[in-house]
Amino acid sequence: MGLAKRIIPCLDVKDGETVKGTNFVNLRSAGDPVALGKAYSEQGADELVFLDITASYEGRKTFTEMVTKVAETLNIPFTVGGGINELKDVERLLYAGADKVSINSAAIRRPQLIDEITTRFGSQVCVVAIDARLDDDGWHCYLKGGRERTERKLFEWAYEAQERGAGEILFTSMNHDGTKNGYANEALCQLSDELSIPIIASGGAGKKEHFRDVFIEGHADAALAASVFHFGEIPVPELKQYLHNEGINVRL
């Protein structure tokens, strides 16, 4: 059976509230992050991801306090990302109650950050998030919440992140984000086959079958989603029972 597949709700937080958009724009409110985090923990989610999507310097202190509040309500692993540029940012969030940190733009700008985090805290703490879009010339990595294209290619960068010590890759397909048409299974399958570390799929969940497909066709180790959970479209316990019935190893 292998390791159990993980279901991970993601809270995108802006100015103290959870938001959700489509293709990284048109954000709408989805509720209080502390209440949502507690509910997901109680419903049997395997982990929780919490991203400060605007990560402005002014909001840093408020965000850290919120991480502490969320962590106090959880009994599942908790990954936090947004605005992490140096070791002291990692320290601050781990001290606030995070179990892992997710780094994205800062890692592309300065890949040595991955080495520094894993050397200091261990690979299990370091999740490298990659926002990528399938453009006419292939999959490119994007920075700043999907606003700035880089010349880094998805598969090369994911491999480098692994070699530098990253414990997991969180891959969000910008083409699929918020569309509810299913995950980028072809790219996910290639990532899973080429890398030896776990791949978390993000972007595109709209129905229970999409989760089944991302595990079977995409070979993902975990599936992350936001709006289908936040707006009650797919309850976590119901999803896990469905996956179990489909022969996928999940923790019930």
| Tally of CA atoms within 13 A in the half-sphere of 112 that contains its CB | 2
Backbone phi and psi for residue 71, each to the nearest 5 degrees, phi listed first:
-60, -35
Element housing 90 (H / E): helix 87-96
pLDDT, residue 145, reads: 72
The b-or-e profile of 184-204 (16+ CB within 10 A means b, else e) is bbebbbbbbeebebbbbbbbb
What's the rounded Cα separation, in Å, for the pair 226 and 179? 12
pLDDT, residue 20, reads: 63
pLDDT, residue 117, reads: 98
Task: Tell which residue, 176, 147, 167, has the closest CA to residue 100.
Answer: 167
Beta-carbon contacts of 245 under 8 Å, excluding residues fewer than 6 positions away, are none
pTM of model > 0.75: yes
pLDDT, residue 27, reads: 56
Q: Tens digit of pLDDT per residue, the chain (252 long)?
A: 678 999 999 988 877 777 765 554 555 556 688 888 899 999 999 999 998 876 655 556 668 888 999 999 999 999 999 889 999 999 999 999 999 999 998 999 999 999 999 999 999 999 999 999 999 999 999 987 778 999 999 999 999 999 999 999 999 999 998 889 999 999 999 999 999 999 999 999 999 999 999 999 999 999 999 889 987 899 999 999 999 999 999 999
131 is catalytic: yes
CA distances from 88 to 2, 92, 117, 122, 134 (A): 36, 6, 10, 15, 34
Structure tokens that stand for 131 in this block = 């926002």
177 is catalytic: no
pLDDT, residue 58, reads: 53
Would the CA dihedral through 214, 217, 220, 221 be positive or negative?
A: positive
pLDDT, residue 178, reads: 81
Judged by phi (left if over 0) then psi (alpha if -120 to 50, else beta), residue 97 lies in: left
Are 8 and 43 within 8 A, CB to CB?
Answer: no
What's the rounded Cα separation, in Å, for the pair 133 and 176? 9
What's the rounded Cα separation, in Å, for the pair 119 and 47? 24
Backbone Cα Rg of the chain: 17
Catalytic residue, candidates 12, 46, 177, 221: 12
Catalytic residue, candidates 131, 177, 213, 221: 131
